[in-house]
Chain A
């Protein structure tokens, strides 16, 4: 009976991964879940692969573990670890239950055997890898399940949570509960919102109508693991002898990979959900190794041997594909790294039209340089969700078409807190490398530039100093300003050597529509000098000056 327990076990593991992962993105109250983000996201395939390829270390080897698990048990990843896969199961469960009473046809469509769409899935995988090979991760970023789901959570569900929170706060306060507080809206990122909506619509529709169709056509991770799972030690299979062709397994198979007519299972599309094991009344669905099955006494029919030969041919072809894909993938990733290393200039997105004359966008501290950052970031938007200062926002084309949706620092939205290292320590792909507080405080992501003619001190002959107020290093400091009005005025001056580019000055600058001080990004981050400290004599006076 242990095989029947595999499904509940899968469900438990899936929820254990899914719920905290969702909370990572939706925790607007900062309850502390993000401290375990590294451990929680260790297995996420694409981010982990990027992290490992850029900095091979045991802590980044999650994707290798996933590959090994797949080679033993099949695509367990897709049903138990991948949050997007689990999300699709939830969606189809929610809607198919309703559909059961309303529309039988729809339910049967979802669970009918469907032929593999091999041309599509291998083309998508190849295109993804080739594009990566040529230096653009855009397609991968658009299709990667973790990042896609992250964007859905960050761009669609998070605003919803904020909305509900802000709706509930006054109600809670009216009843005497003061633990809730209002939360500011994130910056409206149209492109990311649109992509997230489109992804949710497409994949949601696919999962309602066709179960795990996305996982077996568009998802590059699903296709890759599908190839690997063909060689897995233990597979789902039908014990021909015990099967009475009742078709219950087929009804519960979300991948549509069980064909009762031929009594065969397309392992490459099986997401190891184990539903069929629980559904089979005759224990004809088995989860065992080929080795075991070859010793299994079977009355071979002609039909059966046909099937075996066909499967054999499939296996040879798929093996060839797999090796090819793996080789291309490795090459592609290696090349994209080389690409990142060789390029010294930033990805210049568009000609600058803003009067502040920003020549470069700002990548977060820890991203080292823009080229490196944009070649690794999968645009999962976890840092956007986690940034306490809301300064990280999804870009549109700041980093070029290929860098679409990758987060940039937007000083209209906020400024980077001097002591904060949240983004660098939460990034699952290593695009933003971990920084200690002291390292972060020396990382110069950009440099403040002052436009005197825009400054309110110059135009209005009044004091302001908002920029210098916010400056954590006093790179922006105030110096006496001679003026026609004869007032005691001070005006900003920038010491670029100690500026870290946090954007406090730009965020605080009140002039409209163009700021008098702004931060221009460093395509390669530099190290700022430490602000000089001079000891001050202690005031030991005990008298009153009045």
Chain B
């Protein structure tokens, strides 16, 4: 019974906030999303901010999108998925900045979220990643909940209906149980995909990453993006690792960019991130594939963008 209620509520929420079913319709009618976004009160498809701290830039961006309550209904369960892949401190730019993650959690709770969960299926030892990234402390201080992604028992098999190479995956229950999904990647160099941004960050919600690498990595990244569209993608480009990514070797790999991109459209967020990095989105194969699969708009000229300088 409880499950039914939850399903109904989730469906309702998704309709309201332009995720789920709305995402389905955008596949058939690209551009509908823009319409929906306008309907629900978000004034822009994408907001880009420069010049502030990660937390301040997020405040500015979310305010210009109509506030967090536009995306987080009262009583909802929120999953925030930062990049916590590596056992490195914040200044190395290997993980999402803790100040940003903490602020997102705060904003969600202030908007009335029942529960905000944060996790990543890390590459390095997860306890060390959670601690040394500073993210666990920031999330706890903000009132959020850190959960482990380190055991297969947390992951449930799902099918990826639109997937071409990735037809099924084991996905963390925290995502399956979430009403609202906020993807909070860090923008950085990547050894094989040139850059890693939002869609690549979703590799951290599945158990078997090896399969992706073995079966056309870029196609799998795009495939999985069709499984569940994030309601919001927040790209952290405060400290940007320009080479030796995604782990980095030292702080000399990092430049201070003090930028942030927030978007309802995951493909647009990645395209904007790629441009900030200095790459052409067309050169990042998974962005190009995702665009062809109608998962979002990679042509930024077709979007309404708010540019904020702090």
Contacts and interface: CB of A to CB of B under 8 A. Distances in A.
Interface of A: 30, 166, 178, 181-184, 388-389, 417-420, 456, 460, 462-466, 468-474, 477-478, 488, 490, 508, 510-512, 531, 533-539, 542-546
B151 A466 contact: no
B249 A533 contact: yes
Contacts of B123: 469-470, 508
15 contacts: A420-B125, A456-B214, A462-B217, A462-B219, A463-B218, A463-B285, A465-B191, A468-B192, A474-B249, A488-B285, A510-B212, A536-B242, A542-B309, A546-B48, A546-B271
B275 A464 contact: no
B192 A463 contact: yes
Chain B's interface size range is 35 or more
A534 B150 contact: no
B70 interface: no
Contacts of A534: 252
B283 interface: yes
A466 B307 contact: no
Interface string B89-128: 0000000000000000000000000000000000111011
Contacts of A542: 50-51, 309
B305 interface: yes
Contacts of B132: 419
A528 to B, nearest CB: 13
A460 B219 CA distance: 13
A510 B153 contact: no
B42 interface: no
A95 to B, nearest CB: 35
Contacts, number: 134
B208 to A, nearest CB: 9
Contact of B247 (A388, A470, A510, A536): A470
Contacts of B247: 469-472
Contacts of B240: 539
Interface in B130-152: 132, 145, 147-148, 150-152
A468 B191 contact: yes
Contacts of A462: 216-219
**Majority secondary structure of chain B interface residues (helix, strand, loop or mixed):** mixed
Can you list the 9 inter-chain pairs with the closest CB atoms, starting with the nearest? A465-B192, A182-B151, A468-B191, A181-B148, A510-B210, A510-B214, A510-B213, A465-B191, A462-B216
Interface stretch (B11-19, B23-31, B55-63, B253-261): B253-261
A511 B214 contact: yes
Nearest to B278: A545
B87 interface: yes
B87 A417 contact: yes
B268 to A, nearest CB: 10
Nearest to B286: A463
A388 B125 contact: yes
B246 interface: yes
Which of A181, A183, A389, A543 has the most C-beta atoms of chain B within 10 angstroms of its own C-beta?
A181
Contacts of A178: 145, 147
A542 B49 CA distance: 10
B155 to A, nearest CB: 10
B253 to A, nearest CB: 7
A157 to B, nearest CB: 19
Nearest to B307: A544
Interface of B: 48, 50-51, 87, 123-125, 127-128, 132, 145, 147-148, 150-154, 190-193, 209-214, 216-219, 240, 242-244, 246-247, 249-250, 252-257, 271-272, 275-276, 278, 283, 285, 300, 305, 307, 309
A30 B127 contact: yes
Contacts of B243: 536
B56 to A, nearest CB: 15
A182 B148 contact: yes
Given A388-B125, A539-B240, 10 more contacts: A389-B125, A463-B192, A466-B209, A466-B213, A472-B249, A474-B244, A544-B307, A545-B278, A546-B275, A546-B305
Given A466-B213, A533-B249, A181 B151 contact: yes
Contact of A184 (B150, B190, B218, B309): B150
Nearest to B275: A545
A469 B191 contact: yes
Nearest to B237: A539
A418 B92 CA distance: 14
Nearest to A475: B249
A178 B219 CA distance: 36
Nearest to A487: B285
B244 A166 contact: no
A511 B257 CA distance: 37
Given A182-B153, A184-B151, A472-B249, A478 B191 contact: yes
B192 A478 contact: yes
A488 B279 CA distance: 14
Given A478-B192, A490-B192, A531-B250, A417 B128 contact: yes
A534 B251 CA distance: 10
Nearest to B305: A546
B190 A536 contact: no
B249 A531 contact: yes
B250 A388 contact: no
A418 B305 CA distance: 41
A388 B252 contact: no
B128 A544 contact: no
Contacts of A538: 255-256
Contacts of A543: 50
B225 to A, nearest CB: 17
Contacts of A30: 127
A460 B125 contact: no
Nearest to A182: B151
Given A418-B87, A470-B247, A465 B214 contact: no
A178 B254 CA distance: 36
A546 B153 contact: no
